[in-house]
Structure 1
Amino acid sequence: MTTAAAATLTEPDARPLSRLHLRLLLIAGLGYLFDGMDGSALAFFLPVLRAEWHLTAWQSGWIASSTSQGYLIGSLAAGFLADRFGRRRIMMTALTIYCVASCLSALQHDWKPYFVLRVICGIGTGAEAVVIIPYIAEFLPPRKRGALCGAVVGFYAFGYTAAAALGLFVVSASPSGWRIASVITGLPVLLLLWWRRALPESPLWLARAGHGNRSGRNRAAQRKPAGAQAPAIPARFQGGPLTSLLTETPWRGRLLTAVSVWTCLFFSFYGFFAWLPSLLMTHGLALSKSFGLAFLIFSAQIPGYFIAAWLNGVIGRRQVMIGALSFAALSATGLIAAPTLPLMIASAMGLSAGLNGAVAGLYAYMPELFPTRIRASAMGLSSGISRIGAIAGSMGAGPLAAWGGTTPVFTTMGAALLLALLILVFIAGNTGDGPLPEEV
Structure 2
Amino acid sequence: MLLQRLEALPMGSFHYKLLFITGLGWLFDAMDTGIIGFVLPVLGKEWGLAATQMGAIGSIGLVGMAIGAVIAGSIADRFGRKTVFSATVIMYSIATGLCAISWSYESLLLFRFFVGFGLGGELPVAATLMSEYAPTNLRGRFIVLLESFWGVGWICAACIAYLFIPVYGWHYAFLIGALPAIYVFFIRLHMPESVRYLLSKGRVAEAQKIVSDLENKLGVKYTGDLTVKPEEIKVEKPHLKDLWSRKYLARTIMLWIVWFGIVYSYYGIFTWLPAIVYQQGFAFVKTFEYVLLITFAQLPGYFCAAWLVDKIGRKYTLSIFLCMSGVASYFFGQSDTAQMIIFWGCVMSFFNLGAWGVVYTYTPELYPTSIRAMGSGWAAGIGRIGGMAAPFVVGIMLEAGSDMHTVFYMFAAVFVIIAIAVFSLGIETKQKNLENI
1:349 aligned to 2:346? yes
Q: For residue 202 of structure 2, give the secondary structure of its aligned residue in structure 1.
A: coil
User: Are residues 186 and 285 of structure 1, via their aligned partners in 2, closer, same or farther at CA, if it must alter by over 3 Å?
Assistant: farther
Equivalent pair of 1:43/1:276 in contact (CA under 8 Å): no
User: Are residues 103 and 285 of structure 1, via their aligned partners in 2, closer, same or farther at CA, if it must alter by over 3 Å?
Assistant: farther
Equivalent pair of 2:192/2:210 in contact (CA under 8 Å): no
Instruction: Letter of the 1:95 partner, please give it.
Output: V
CA distance in 1, matches of 2:280, 2:114: 33
Alignment match of 1:323 (pick from 320, 323, 343): 320
- Number of residue pairs matched? 418
CA distance in 1, matches of 2:209, 2:173: 36
1:301 Cα deviation after fit: 0.9
1:31 aligned to 2:22? no
**Structure 1 residues 108-143: Cα deviation after superposition (integer angstroms, max 9, x where no partner):** 254332222112111001111010011111111100
**Equivalent residue, structure 2, for 1:137:** 131
**Equivalent residue, structure 1, for 2:86:** 92
CA distance in 2, matches of 1:167, 1:10: 48
1:192 aligned to 2:192? no
Alignment match of 1:421 (pick from 419, 422, 427): 419
User: Are residues 9 and 19 of structure 1, via their aligned partners in 2, closer, same or farther at CA, if it must alter by over 3 Å?
Assistant: farther
Instruction: Letter of the 1:428 partner, please give it.
Output: G
Provide the TM-score with structure 1 as the length reference.
Answer: 0.88
**Equivalent residue, structure 2, for 1:153:** 147
**Equivalent residue, structure 2, for 1:361:** 358
CA distance in 2, matches of 1:71, 1:90: 15
CA distance in 2, matches of 1:292, 1:369: 40
1:89 Cα deviation after fit: 0.3
**Equivalent residue, structure 2, for 1:210:** 202
User: Are residues 135 and 125 of structure 1, via their aligned partners in 2, closer, same or farther at CA, if it must alter by over 3 Å?
Assistant: same
Match runs of 1:6-405 below 5 Å = 11-171=5-165, 173-174=166-167, 177-187=169-179, 189-198=180-189, 199-214=191-206, 240-246=238-244, 248-401=245-398, 404-405=402-403
Instruction: Letter of the 1:206 partner, please give it.
Output: L
CA distance in 2, matches of 1:70, 1:352: 25
1:103 Cα deviation after fit: 1.2
Stretches of 4+ aligned residues off by more than 6 angstroms: 216-219
Equivalent pair of 2:199/2:234 in contact (CA under 8 Å): no
1:239 Cα deviation after fit: 6.8
CA distance in 2, matches of 1:120, 1:241: 26
Provide the TM-score with structure 2 as the length reference.
Answer: 0.89
1:191 Cα deviation after fit: 3.0
1:278 Cα deviation after fit: 3.1
Equivalent pair of 1:71/1:124 in contact (CA under 8 Å): yes
Q: For residue 261 of structure 1, give the secondary structure of its aligned residue in structure 2.
A: helix
**Structure 1 residues 243-298: Cα deviation after superposition (integer angstroms, max 9, x where no partner):** 2112x121122111101011100001112223322333333444333222222111
**Equivalent residue, structure 1, for 2:221:** none
CA distance in 2, matches of 1:399, 1:47: 21
Judge which range, 339-348 or 371-380, deviates more: 339-348
5+ residue gaps, structure 2? 212-229
1:9 Cα deviation after fit: 10
CA distance in 1, matches of 2:298, 2:259: 18
Instruction: Letter of the 1:184 partner, please give it.
Output: I
CA distance in 1, matches of 2:71, 2:129: 16
User: Are residues 412 and 361 of structure 1, via their aligned partners in 2, closer, same or farther at CA, if it must alter by over 3 Å?
Assistant: same
CA distance in 2, matches of 1:435, 1:16: 15
Sequence identity of aligned pairs in percent?
31
CA distance in 2, matches of 1:52, 1:152: 37
Equivalent pair of 1:43/1:277 in contact (CA under 8 Å): no
